[in-house]
Each structure stands twice: as structure tokens, then as C-alpha cells.
Structure 1
Amino acid sequence: MLYSKYEWRVKAPDHHTAQWLAKEMSLSPVVASLLAARGVLSLEDGNRFLYGSLELTHDPYLMQGMREAVPRIRKALEDREHILIYGDYDADGVSSTSLMIQLMRELGASYDIYIPHRANEGYGLHNHALDWAHQQGVSLVITVDTGISAVEQIAYANELGMDVIVTDHHEPPERLPDAYALINPKMKTCPYPFKGLAGVGVAYKLAQALVGEPPKEWLEIVAIGTIADLMPLTGENRVLVKQGIESMRFTRYEGIRCLLEVSGVHVEQVTAVNVAFAMAPRINASGRLDHAGRAVTLLTTESREEAERLAFELDALNKDRQQVVETIVQEALEMVNAKWGERLPSVIVLAGEGWNVGVVGIVASKVLERFYRPVVILGIDPESGNCKGSARSIPGLDIYEALNSCRDVMDHFGGHPSAAGMSLHRDRLDEFEHALQQFADGVLREEHFTAVCEADLECSMSDVSLPVIEQLELLGPFGMANAVPKIIFRDVTVQEVRKIGKEGKHLKLRIAQKGQQIDALFFGSGHLADLLPAGTVMDVLGEMSVNEWNGSRRLQLLVQDLRVSSRQVFDFRGTPEPLSAIKRWRAELAPYLQCSADKSAVVYAKDSHPEIKSQLYDMCLWVYDRNAGIMPDNDVAESKPKEDTSVLFVLDIPESAEQLDAMMKAFHNVPNIFMLHPTRNERERLLIPSREQFKQLYVLLAGMASSPVPEQEAVAQLKRRTSLSSRMLAKALDVFEELVFIQRSKGWITFVPKPEKKPLDASRHFRELSNLADMEQHLLHAGTEQLTQWMMSRTKDVS
């Protein structure tokens, strides 16, 4: 049984509305159902959602501060003032800065740009940068994607005689800066109807106010920043991004074209998903490991040669970033285990010396995905003791609000309900962690720690033909608040399974349902290959897509989650280092096996694994016992109910069928059994005894042991003449001795000429041999399917 990582919640379909939309808009039932699930209830809403254009965007002058900002910028243009565009180092900041460069070029302005270095300077306005700007003759500063919290810095700019226009979209603090103009739709006093713009979206509204109708290609830059900053692709954002993606398919920007090409994306087929997973990480890599200015140059250069060089540089930086992230994630996971074990707090706060502050946000996301609770990751400068970090949160906790509750502990913080950044000194880390925990404990409840995946639809594979999935693209662009539709298929059967990609990191399946077959990919889940043998019946949740290869278009499912409802036996007989394998599986498969230490049991032969108590000390350890069948071998096993066991690891086979039955009875409800016992040499194989075999042995013994003969010599002769194993012959002699057909004494055996006639099954040894041979036949020599069926039948027999 494999548990799903998420709790699946299927949206209740509005069948009446879906049928009406399908008829009125000529849509397939599947697409119409998905449209209704997105809140489309009328023909007008449907046309706006599917075919909305720039006419649906709002008047930029509805935004507070715009009527002050535009005349000030126009005055600066007339007077040839030197303008500074002050941006940020993430993809939204890079896009915002790049868009403003396009605007400045369009307006013929005298301008400079400044983006702080993530590691050396950190987020936001800095006084030393304002000093530099003042020396350059700047009299007007326009911030993009930053500035709403820069109270002291803008006051300093005012002292220097520079006006500051802030364009931002982050959560405004209680005290706002005294800027010449503040443009942020999230300000409480701002009447702008759409609050979900990215920083680049706000910058675009300023451009609209200044030039009327900006060139359509500027929307390509808007799309990049909006998608990368995980802004909701609804309302105005949906229109802006959709138009931007359409323009991007014919882009004239050399940087965008080269970046798509180096990412392996066909320019003419680019989607919002490609921007999110191919372009955005490479743009962000510039600011994470180097300086974001390189990405700005890429997006604004008109030179193909320069664009190619920069695109390859960003691609290389992204590869380096991936390695840095992987290293820190492993260190963070080890830290979690050492600090808390399996008793995790409401908020995970981790800090490490030398951790690259450019990637701590990504690390936080990965740690959150592993443990599903809010995470704060901080990098510590070992020389200054200053910490810079990023937080990622779950829906139950507004992380910005949580940070605001302990703002006195930090030097600076800012962000959104789901993601934020902060800086503080290492001396205050304990105080910071305690304050965050206290706030989170008052907000979060147990149900908040269950990851939920909202599925849009449950249907059969026959319902999702290629034309249906092609029509599904009308619902794009897909991203935040308008996710790629997730569909559940139940009772699909695995036809083929294999690992693909570097080091077998990914999983490829061929699945079938009622005669329909499709390929399925599960990225990052190659480790599940051995747990999904052909024939496994499971439920899957995923996203449908079209795979294009050599002119052929085929459906494929991108799996997000899966579950197997039936009990399973996993055949890993002969695993060379079983204790290490158990630790690895528990780490890799925890979400699917729910194998916390106190719910994981190990059964083994006494003294067979001397190191087990030091390596698996926190698990329930059991040993075989001649009298009781199995016995607890540590305190954890004694204290935890066997009924709660979720996974059983069998390290050794029992000595008898009675011990096997005792084990199966004790763990008759366990969902998953891992068979890890060593295999045995075929020459030591036991056969289920037959009367013909014993009759033959009896005749042979009569001919060689009429006078005492060494037992070792007798066994050797019998082995040559029967091909039975030494073990089998030794146990046969036990039967003959018990029935008084032979006598044994000090290593010698003697045949009894006229023994009392007794049936073979009157011998306890004969019955034990039969049961033991049958057990070993299945445990040691049967194929995986036969072993599984036999283990399941034994469980039923003893339950």
C-alpha cells in the first residue's frame, strides 16, 4: 500500500453549468467542466476568460500616486534630469528594471540603473547606493519591485535633494515612506480594482500612463516577471500574461529567444509553464550566484552575439545553483533530524554558516515540500554574524504576519503571506525562533499540516482524447490561481515501469484503464520504480499534456501524486546492505509508506545483525524465538502496539513455519512488507518430502548401514545417489531416527532391520520438514508474484 503525499480534494462539479457551457461555447464536456470549476457561470464570463484582450485592463490612473508620478517624470524628461531606476535582484525585479529600460529608451531619458547585490547588500534601498546616485547627478529615483518599506532610506534621499517615486507590490507596512509618489495597488487607500499585479505589472501601468499604448512586445517582459513571482494568473494578470506569451512566440527580443533556446524550449510553442520552469530559474540564477545585472542586460540587449553568450552564462549559473541548492538541502535535512528527529515544531527555522543567501528561498521551498510546514532558512556570515534568510509558508500561516509579530528581533523584513525575507544578527536567532514558534503555535492546528492537492476533475482515460487536451489549452496561461488542471484516474494498471534521466531520477510508466493506454512521467520519483511492478493497480493524480516528438503528438500524464490501496509485498531478497537500505527507504519513501520510526518494525534472527541496535535504535526491533515465535528486542517494540505498524522489514527467514505464522499473526494488518532476507545456495535447498523419496532413501540406507557407518560418509553417499542437498538428507535422517528406522550414536548410524511400521506423517520431524520446505520454497526460490501471493495467503490464514 502506498499512501498519497497529499490529501486529494476533488472540486464538486456543476454538471448543469458545464453542460450548458459545452453546448453554448462548443466545448468538450471535460473542458466545460473545468471552466465551470474556475467560476465561469455565464457566456459573458466564458468569453472574457477564454478570449479576453487588453481592453479588459484597467485605467492606470485609477492607481493611487499615478497622477503625481507622471507629471514629475515628464518634468524630468523636459529638464533632462538624470533618472535612476532602482530595481531588485529576483526575476520580477529584473523584469521590472528591464521594462523601465525600454520605457526610458522610448522616452529618450537620461538614466542609470542600480540593482543591489543579493549577498553583499541585500534587498531594498541602501543609503550608499543613494550616495552614489547623488554623485552621478541623479535628481529622480524610480524604484521598481521595491521601496514600499524604505522609510529611512527615502528620508535620506529627500535630504540629498532627490525625489523618489516608488512602484512596488509588496505588502505595505504600517508606516509608509515620505516619497514623492507611492504606487502600490496593495495600499489600503489605493482604489485600483486589481490587487494582484507583480512588480513588473505595476511598472507596466506606469508605462501605460506615460506612453498610452506601450509596444506589445513589452508584455513579454511583463509575462516573465508576473509568472516568475508567482502572481495569480487571474483578472488583469491573465490578460497581460496571455498577450505576452502570444507575443513571445514571435519574439524580437534576442535575449528572450536565446534564453528559450538554451532552455530547450521551442520559441513558437512557449507556454507560461515554460516561463516558470525554464526561463525564470535561469534569470533568478543571475541574482542568486552572481549579479542580476547580467540578466537585465540579456533581456535588453539588441545584439544576438551578446544574447547568446549571456544565455549560456545564465544556463551555467543555473546548473551551479542547482548543485549549491542540493548541498544545502542535504545539510538542512540532516540538521532537522539532529535537532528534532520526528517531533517537528510548528515552524522549522534553520541557519548555517556559509549557506549561500542567494538560494535560501529555494532551499526553504524544498524543506517545506519534505515536511509540509513553514520553513525559514538563513545563511550566516561567519565574520559579521549577520544572517539573511527566506521563509516559505503553508496556507494556514501568513508568514508576513508572523514576521511582523516579531519585527523587533530583525533588522529588516518584507514579503507576502506565503514567502518573505528577513535579516538579523545571529545573537538573536534563538529569540527569533522562539517568537515565530509562539506565533505559529497560536495559529496552526493539526489539520494545517496535511498537504492538500485540489483536483479539478475525476474521469476515465477514455474521456481525455488528444483533441480534448488540445482544446484544454484555451484555459491557459496556467500558473498561480489558474493551475494546470489536475485530473484523477482511478484503478489504472501499471503495464511497464522504468527509471529515466540522470542517475534514474525520474519515473516513466505505461498505464492502462479499460483498454486505453498512455505514458506517464513522474519527475523526481525514480525511487518508486521498485515499488510499482507491472500489474500494480493504483489511483493517479496528474496533469495531461501533449508530447511532441519527430512530428508525432501523443498524450502523456505528468503525475503529481499516486496511491496504491492494496497491501503489498516488496521483493528485495538478497539486498547486500539491508540496514542501510532500510534507512534510505525510510528517508526517500516516508510520504508514501508513512514509516515513522515507531510505526516501522524489523524482524530478524537473534545475533544475525550485531550492529542493528546502534543503526536502527529508534525502530521496533523483533527477533525470532523458538517458543514464542517472535519477541521484542528493544524498548520501542515493547511499548508500541503492533497494530499500528505501517511497514515491516524482514531481514532473515524464520527457522520454522511456526515462527513465520507467529510473525504474520503479530503483523497481520501491516500494509507493506519488505522481504530483505539473504538468498540461500541452491545446493542447500529443501524439497517438500514425498513418500517415494523416503522409500528410496530407506532402501539405500538398508544397503549401506546394516553395520554402523559414519553419518558423514552415509550422507555423502546418499547425496551422490539422490542429488538431494546435505540439509535435506540430514533432516530425512532426523525423521528415520524418530521413527526408529535408524539409530544414531556419536556420529555413527545403524540401520534397524525390522522396525515397527509407522506412517511418515506420524513423525514430528517429517511434518516440520514439509512445512519448512514449503516455506523456504516460497521465501527463497519463488518468483516475486508467487512470493507476494503466498505471503498474502499466509496473512489471511492467521488473521
Structure 2
Amino acid sequence: MNRQWFVNRTNTEFVDYLSRTCSISPLITQILINRGIKTPSDIYSFLNPDINRLSDPFELRGMKSAVNRILQAKKNRERVMIHGDYDADGITSTVLLLSAFHDMGIESYYFIPDRMLHGYGFGICGVERAKEIGASLIVTVDCGITSFEAVSLCKKNGIDVIITDHHEPFLKDVENLSSVYQNDTTSKFLLPDALSVVNPKIMDSNSPLNNLSGAGVALKLLQALDAQKELGIPYDYYFDIASMGTLADIVPLTYENRVIVKEGLKKLQKSIRPGLKALIEISGVSNRALKTGTVIFSLIPRINSAGRISNADQVIKLFLTESEDEAFNLAKELNLLNAKRQQIEEDVFHDALNQLKKKDLRSVIVLSSEGWHKGVIGIVASRIAEIYNRPAFIISKDDRVSRGSGRSIPSFDLCESLTLCAHILRGFGGHKSAAGIEIETDKINDFEEIINRIAFEKLNENDFSPVLQIDAEAKLSDLGFNIIRDIELLEPFGCGNPEPVIGSRNLDVLYPRIIKDSHIKMKLRQNGQSIDAVGFDMALDYGQLLDFPKIDAAYRPLINEWEGKQFLQLRLKALRKSRNH
């Protein structure tokens, strides 16, 4: 109950104009305005995402040369190696190209580094693997944008490299970088000297392609091959896998990502792939509508578990197998790995919390210890950052070189800030909100001081105060089945398009009770209108409810079904004492 509540409001005349013009309710109009969707044409495109309106893939810089080189490899019967990454985005990206290349008749192999043995990204081990199999072309997915040494080594060995990635590139003004960098005078970025670099991050930052995931970039490559009539199967066949990579990487579900996920979820629900069917069944969601939350919290963790504490080969086999028996066995293995991952994560999380209690809380939390499993430090960093609403780095210490993962808050750009620490790091990469670092162990304390000095200059106290964004205020009498069905038109929800939060004031609480130890249930009443409400993991608020004569509530209105009947229910997000009482 200690978050600041911020109710978004817009000039009522403008809301009414858009509402009438687009034939949507004022409530939905306000929600769309909050998402930055403010014109009739933008509203139409958002409410009607269409595969036919996806952009020309050749708008991506480097795409034409990438496609030409792949077609040359096909014509010359060359061996091609796809270099992926061990997280869900990297795995799904690998599956996309591997499947498509096989369908095209290209002799293709894959390599995904082992998190423990090789670390992150396209490195020397990947080059050695390409040499072993006799590959003359490497295509990276979800990695490679800062792999200068690996690309240089490939050139010396006569291996062409196509980089497809979506991570942040280095800027040219970063100091102390190796001489193997290619100074591209047409760009403000330092790029590896690859045959082709396809990365929306090296385009105009206002491009709608800028937020593609690794799987999204891989899908654009398939779209380009399909446009050349070279793809064995139409590229929209791969939307189910691309949607999983997109959701896994928590990219904004706007523009092309929205189309990929909306169409992909439809295909995923009806998937004929034995591996996906088995994964859905073993996750216990086969009888549920597959929405973004189901995929993110049920399917993705099982895909990620292999790369976190084992190796990604099991997931690649799961996606590619045509045997239902093998698929079910692989899915069971992933389920067991995920349970093991959960226990390891909890151990590291509680250890990190105990360490933090013994330190002063600073602008950026930096925690390190020997023995912390490298496969879960990113998740732990995310949980710590969410609890304390400040950037957090969790570092697994080794004797000489340590690896860490960072997660951030919206007002602190991790990659930009790590660039200012480049002189003390052995390596880093990632995004604005998530990044990985490699650092000499004896420099961890220095890193903590430097990153906090940077944060001191960039952040203020308001940045550390969590804010609950409320899309619109409504009376309970305004809510009905039509409004809820209109809200469903805004799906899929996720990063960049969060579930709408509605607020109502001066509510009476009727029949409050705790259910299943940690949840609360009640009726909320306003001016004679009452609606059921439930708050998951909100049992701590129960005692305060009894003390307040009236409350304000923030919630998502839903249609709940019970014994064949439908009724309205409010899914509570937060409660507070009404200001008028």
C-alpha cells in the first residue's frame, strides 16, 4: 500500500473525439492514449495487427547481402553453422534458422555455447566448432554484435560471418577498445568486420524495428528469403516459435512484435509440432487459452532451464523432433530441470538478501559471492531490482574472473552506464534494462563504487519510488461485459502494452476473507453496485482493510466463469485508504 498512485488523464474533448471517430469507448480510448497511440490510423493498426502490414525486411541494413550470401551457400552446397545463445530467445532463433535452412536444402549445423564452459556470446569456441565441421559460413542469432575477436579469427580462417542480433552495439567514442574493430564511417557504432551485420539497433532509433528480439530479427531474415521465393515453407509457419522468443526477451509488444506475438499465440494454441505439444502438456496448460502470461510463466522457464543449469541441446531436440514419444520424454526432462533451477534460484536469492541486509542500501545494488550458480544470477538480479526498485548486479565470483548479471529500472540505462565502466570490465553486453558483465574478481569493489557514482549523477530520489500507473478512473457502474471484451481487444499484453489498470474511489469492503493463506477475497460496493474482487498474494493487506471505512482500489476487470456461468470480477492490484475518509 506504499506505492504512489498516478492516474493518467487526458483532455476530455480529445478523448471524446477519438472515441467517436474510432467507435470505441472513452475508457479504451484513454488506455490507448496512455500507450502513446493517439491518432485514428494508429488506433486502427493497433487494434487490427496484420501480418500483411509487416515492414519490408530489406529495410534492415545488411539484409540484402545476408540473403545473397545464404543463397550462394545453398547454390554451392556449402556447410553453414548457426551460432545461437543459451537463453530462450537465442534457442528459438537457432531453431528458426536451422529448420528453415534444412527445408531449403542447406547443410546446416548449430552451436550454442555452454553457459559454464564457454560463457556468453559468439567467441573462439564457436569458431573452433565451425572449423571442425568444415563450415564456410557462420550465421549468428541473438549474439555477435560485439564479437570482434571471433569475427577477426573467422576472416583469418576464410569463414564468412553474418551477424543477426538485437543487442546494443558499442559506440565509437568508447575508449580502450581493441584494434580489431571496424570503423564504419557511415555509422556511429563500432561493428565487427563481418560480411553482413543485421541488427535494428544500428538503424534509426525511431524505427519500429528497433525493439525486435533476436527471434524477431531471425524471422525477418526468413521473411526476406520468402520474398525471394527461396524459403521451403512460407515464413508465417514459424510465427509460433518466433513469438516465444519475443515474449522470452521481454521486448515491447508494439509494432511488429505485437503482430508476431498475436499471430504466434494462435499458431501455438493449435501447434502440430510434437515438441511444443508435449511442452504445453507437461506445463499443465493444455486446457487453457495460451496468453502471454501463460507462455512467459509456464513455458519459457522450462525452455530456459536447460541453458541455465544444463545445456540447450535438449531444447533444440524438443523443438525439432517428429516423435511424440521423444518429445514427451524431453519435455519431462525439462520439467525436472526447471524444478531444480527453482530450488537453486531460491537458495541464491535468500543468500543475496541476507548479504544485502548487512550492507548500506545504495543507488545500485552490487552483491557477489563464490558458489552462486551463474545460470540463475540474472533472475535473482531481476527479483532484487523489483523489490528495492533500483538497479541490481548479482555477481558469481571465481578465483580470477567473475561473471555477473544486471537488471535495471526504467530511468537507468544499463548498457550506457556500463560503457562508462568499460575500462574496468573485461566485457559486457545487453540492453537498457538487462546486461551481463565479465570482470576481474579483485575489481568488483571498484566496479561497485564507479557504477554508483554514475547512478548518483543520473538518478534522483523520485526514481527509487515505485509508482502505480492507473490507466483510467471508473465507477463500478461503468463496468460491464462489453467494456471487458473491449479490453481484450488490446491483447496481447506485456512489456510496452501492460494489462490495463483501472481505479475506483470510495468503495465499501464487504465480507473480506483470506483464502489459501496468502490471497484475499471480498465484495466491493459503490453507490449500491457491488462486484466480487480477489487479490492474489495480498493477504498482508487484510488487517488494514478492517480499519478503513472506505478504500480506493486499483484493478483489472475480468469475466470469471464458474459452473457454466459468467460474472464480473475485479483482479486487485493495490488498495489504499480513501483520501476522503
> Taking structure 2 as the reference length, what is the TM-score of the superposition?
0.90
1:539 aligns with 2:552: yes
Residue equivalent to 1:77: 74
In structure 1, what residue type is equivalent to 2:148?
Answer: V
The yes-or-no answer on 1:249 pairing with 2:269 is yes
SS state of the match for residue 217, structure 1? helix
**Aligned equivalents of 1:529, 1:318: Cα separation in 2:** 33
In structure 2, distance between residues paired with 1:211 and 1:275: 27
Name which of 556, 570, 573 aligns with 1:560. 573
- Which of 194-203 and 142-151 deviates more? 194-203
Q: Is the 8 A contact 2:510 2:522 kept in 1?
A: yes
- 1:511 aligns with 524
Q: Which has the larger radius of gyration?
A: 1
Distance 1:320 1:66 in 2: 41
Residue in structure 2 matching 1:106, options 99, 103, 106: 103
Deviation track 1:709-764 (CA, whole Å, cap 9, x = no partner) reads xxxxxxxxxxxxxxxxxxxxxxxxxxxxxxxxxxxxxxxxxxxxxxxxxxxxxxxx
Name the CA distance, whole Å, in 1 between partners of 2:568 and 2:273. 32
Q: Which residue of 1 aligns with 2:151?
A: 154
SS at the partner of 2:504? strand
Distance 2:72 2:473 in 1: 59
By how many angstroms is 1:430 displaced? 0.9
**Are the counterparts in 2 of residues 18 and 35 from structure 1 also a CA contact under 8 Å?**
no
Q: Distance between the aligned counterparts of 2:530 and 2:521, measured in 1?
A: 13
Distance 2:121 2:538 in 1: 38
* Cα separation, 2, equivalents of 1:196 and 1:40: 17
- Aligned residue for 2:373, secondary structure, equals coil
Query: Within 2, Cα distance between the matches of 1:69 and 1:267?
Result: 41
Q: Among 343, 347, 364, which residue is 2:381 paired with?
A: 364
Contact 1:30 1:463 in 2 (8 A): no
Matched to 1:48, the amino acid is: S
**Is 1:426 the equivalent of 2:441?**
yes
Q: Is the 8 A contact 1:62 1:192 kept in 2?
A: no
Q: Deviations over 1:151-197 (max 9, x none)?
A: 01111122222111000000011331111110001115799652111
Matching residue of 2:34: 37
Shift of 1:326: 2.0
1:690-729 paired onto structure 2 within 5 Å:
none
Matched, 1:437 2:449: no
TM-score (norm 1): 0.66
Note if contact 1:64-1:189 (Cα within 8 Å) is conserved in structure 2. no
1:226-266 Cα distance to aligned partner (Å, 9 max, x none): 11111111112112221212222322223223323333335
Equivalent residue, structure 1, for 2:372: 355
Distance 1:313 1:167, change over 3 A: same
- 1:185 pairs, out of 190, 200, 217, with 200
User: Is contact 2:34-2:471 (8 Å) kept?
Assistant: yes
CA distance in 2, matches of 1:315, 1:462: 45
Q: Deviations over 1:74-94 (max 9, x none)?
A: 111111111111111111111
Separation of aligned partners in 1, 2:317 and 2:287:
20
Match of 1:416 among 400, 423, 431: 431
Question: Which of these residues, 189, 206, 214, is aligned with residue 221 of structure 2?
Answer: 206
Question: Tell me, what secondary structure is at the counterpart of 2:508?
Answer: strand
Residue 87 (1) aligns with residue 100 (2): no
Please report the RMSD computed on the Cα atoms of aligned residues, expressed in angstroms: 2.4
Structure 1 partner of 2:191: 176
Letter in 1 for 2:30: S
**1:21, distance to aligned residue in structure 2 (A):** 4.1
Residue matched to 1:194: 209
- Check the 8 A contact 2:61/2:203 in 1, yes or no: no
What is the rounded CA distance, in whole Å, between the counterparts of 1:431 and 1:406 in structure 2? 10
1:480 partnered with 2:464: no
Query: The residue matched to 2:510 in structure 1 has which SS?
Result: strand
**Distance in 2 separating the partners of 1:238 and 1:80:** 37
Shift of 1:211: 1.9
8 Å contact kept, 1:238–1:477 = yes
Alpha-carbon spacing, 1:345–1:191, altered in 2? closer, same or farther (3 Å): closer
**Residues 295-304 or 423-432, more deviating:** 295-304
- Secondary structure class of the residue paired with 1:520: strand
**Residues 203/348 of structure 1: CA separation in 2 closer, same or farther (3 Å cut):** same
Partner residue in 1 for 2:393: 376
Inter-partner Cα distance in structure 2 for 1:486 and 1:346: 29
User: Within the alignment, does 1:269 sit opposite 2:289 as a pair?
Assistant: yes
1:646 is aligned to none
Query: Match for 1:294 among 314, 319, 323?
Result: 314
After superposition, give the CA deviation of every residue in 1:101-129 in whole Å (9 maximum; x if it has no partner). Answer: 22112212111111112233221012123
**Matched residue of 1:339: which SS?**
coil
Residue 139 (1) aligns with residue 142 (2): no
Corresponding pairs, count:
558
Give the distance between the partners of 2:77 and 2:563, measured in 1 at CA: 55
Paired with 1:362 and 1:16, the residues of 2 have a C-alpha distance of: 45
CA displacement at 1:272 relative to structure 2:
2.0
The answer (yes or no) to whether the contact 2:506–2:580 under 8 Å persists in 1 is: no
Q: Aligned letter for 1:291?
A: N
Partner in structure 2 of residue 124 of structure 1: 121
What amino acid is aligned across from residue 576 of structure 2 in structure 1? R
| % same residue | 39
Q: 1:350 to 1:223 in 2, by over 3 A?
A: same
CA contact (8 A) 1:139 1:163 kept: yes
Q: Quick one: distance in 2 between partners of 1:553 and 1:289?
A: 43
- The amino acid of 1:8's aligned partner reads W
Measured after TM superposition, the shift of residue 206 of structure 1 is: 0.7
Structure 1: give runs of 5+ residues left out of the alignment.
569-799
Amino acid at match of 1:86: H
Of residues 41, 49, 56, the one that matches 2:46 is 49
Partner of 1:319: 339
Q: Determine if contact 1:260/1:267 at 8 Å carries over to the other structure.
A: no
1: CA distance, partners of 2:578 / 2:208: 47
Q: Deviations over 1:120-150 (max 9, x none)?
A: 3221012123112201111111000000000
Find the counterpart in structure 2 of residue 787 from structure 1. Answer: none
Pairing 1:493-508 to 2, within 5 Å after superposition? 493-501=508-516, 504-508=517-521
Q: 2:303: which partner in 1?
A: 283
Give me the whole-angstrom Cα distance separating, in 2, the residues matched to 1:385 and 1:518.
60
- Pair 1:193–1:333, CA change in 2 (3 A): closer
**1:171 touches 1:415 (CA, 8 Å); kept in 2?**
yes
- Contact 1:507–1:526 under 8 Å retained in 2: yes
Whole-angstrom CA distance in 1 between matches of 2:531 and 2:121: 49
Alignment of 1:383-782 (within 5 A): 384-501=399-516, 504-533=517-546, 537-565=550-578
Question: Is 1:334 the equivalent of 2:354?
Answer: yes
- Give yes or no for contact 1:495–1:535 (8 Å, CA) kept in 2: no
> Distance in 1 between the 2:316 and 2:564 partners?
35
Give 1:763's aligned residue.
none
- CA gap of 1:59–1:368, structure 2 versus 1, over 3 A, is same
Three-state SS of the structure 1 residue aligned to 2:409 is: coil
Structure 1 match to 2:180 = none
Q: Deviations over 1:663-686 (max 9, x none)?
A: xxxxxxxxxxxxxxxxxxxxxxxx
Q: Is the 8 A contact 2:378 2:394 kept in 1?
A: yes
Distance 2:504 2:206 in 1: 44
Flag the structure with more relative contact order, 1 or 2, with Cα contacts below 8 A and sequence separation at least 6.
2
Residue 132 of structure 1 aligns with an amino acid whose one-letter code is R
Inter-CA distance 505–120: structure 2 relative to 1 (3 Å threshold): farther
Q: Deviations over 1:579-627 (max 9, x none)?
A: xxxxxxxxxxxxxxxxxxxxxxxxxxxxxxxxxxxxxxxxxxxxxxxxx
CA contact (8 A) 1:84 1:133 kept: yes
